[in-house]
Amino acid sequence: MSQSILKLLLKEYEQKRLSAFLDFEKRKENLYHSLPKLEEIDKELNIFALNTAKSILNSNNSTTSIQELKDKIEALKVEKQALLSSLHFDYSSFKPHFDCEKCEDTGYILIQQHYELCSCIKQKLFDIAYNQSNITDLKNHNFEHFNLALYSDKICEELYRSNLSPRDNIKNIKEISHSFIKNFDVPEQKNLLFTGNTGLGKSFLSDCIACELLKNGKTVLYQTAPVMLDTIIDYRFNKNASQLTYDNILNVDLLIIDDLGTENLNSMKFTELFNVINTRLLNQNHHITKTIISTNLNLQDLRTKYDERIFSRFVGAYNICRFFGEDIRFKKNNV
């Protein structure tokens, strides 16, 4: 299935690239129209470049004539630069506008003499195949929309078992999230475990982090724990799910596992969950993979439900962020 989607995407990329070039040609035409001298220089440059190439191919030509051509090209370039500088025109930014500067909308990048799919197209494959609607509302789920005022600034030790107010607590979690983004490629940077009741902004914050990392060219895969574990079990029994899906769960840069604790756990799923969490901690082949887990369970419940093997991974390799306060979803609608 993903092969045919990839074909469609590449076709879409071809179109995008073509229209970027067409748009560039149009802008160039307009520029030449207002600067005929520039067109003249460019035309001459093209002719000289072609002649230089011909002369190099034709070994009968003396090196002096090739040097002469190169000198002429240099002189023309200087003249062109002087012309553009006199008009304060930034020619370096005068090029086709691609959606992805990294692959220039080809969908591929060259890594150690091998062509690999660019992260932009990988992310599109993830979005289409697995994320469905979950990660599409990222436009509004970013740090600019993160409203700390929704959290109370009153300390309520008895209720929340903390000497911090919900607002100071969320400020700390926000800081931790920023440093998670900043140090994403540092192997020692811990993963994130968000624990707390629903309606306290866990999913919103995961989305904010996903949004920032997508901007940084990382791939992000969102899964709820029940769906992820069912997918893996299906793959084990060769039902529907493909090897690619399974590989992506293990290898995507950032995996967000939402709603941990809502799955119907059995020994097989337990083993698979351990495998996902553990494999992603190994950063195999020097590829950094990080995970954000979100759960309504508290630490005590997590320990009881998942036993020492998984729990020790949480404690050792995850920054545990406890969300507390009043349900902000209600407040949002009333602010």
- Smallest CA-to-CA distance from 292 within 228, 178, 202, 218 is with 202
Among 9, 41, 84, 120, binds Zn ion (CB under 5 A): 120
211 binds Zn ion (CB under 5 A): no
Residues 283-312 that bind Zn ion (CB under 5 A): none
The distance of closest approach from Cβ of residue 100 to Zn ion in the complex, given in angstroms and rounded to an integer, is 3
Considering beta carbons, is residue 119 or 289 the nearer one to Zn ion?
A: 119
Considering beta carbons, is residue 74 or 99 the nearer one to Zn ion?
A: 99
Residues 225-284 that bind Zn ion (CB under 5 A): none
254 close to 219: Cβ distance less than 8 angstroms:
yes
The distance of closest approach from Cβ of residue 141 to Zn ion in the complex, given in angstroms and rounded to an integer, is 23
Helix, strand, coil percentages for the chain (3-state, nearest 5)? 60, 10, 30
Q: Residues near 319 by Cβ (< 8 Å), separated by ≥ 6?
A: 176, 180, 190, 191, 192, 193
Which tokens is 105 given?
Answer: 């909308």
**Number of C-alpha atoms within 13 angstroms, CB side, residue 40?**
6
The distance of closest approach from Cβ of residue 118 to Zn ion in the complex, given in angstroms and rounded to an integer, is 3
Could you tell me which stretch among 3-11, 16-24, 116-124, 137-145 binds Zn ion (CB under 5 A)?
Answer: 116-124
Considering beta carbons, is residue 119 or 231 the nearer one to Zn ion?
A: 119
* Residue 282 CB neighbour total at 10 angstroms: 10
How do beta strands 114-117 and 108-111 pair?
A: antiparallel
Residues 66-105 that bind Zn ion (CB under 5 A): 100, 102-103
The distance of closest approach from Cβ of residue 3 to Zn ion in the complex, given in angstroms and rounded to an integer, is 19
The distance of closest approach from Cβ of residue 24 to Zn ion in the complex, given in angstroms and rounded to an integer, is 18
**Number of C-alpha atoms within 13 angstroms, CB side, residue 69?**
18
* Binding residues with Zn ion: total (CB under 5 A): 5
Site of interaction with Zn ion (CB under 5 A): 100, 102-103, 118, 120
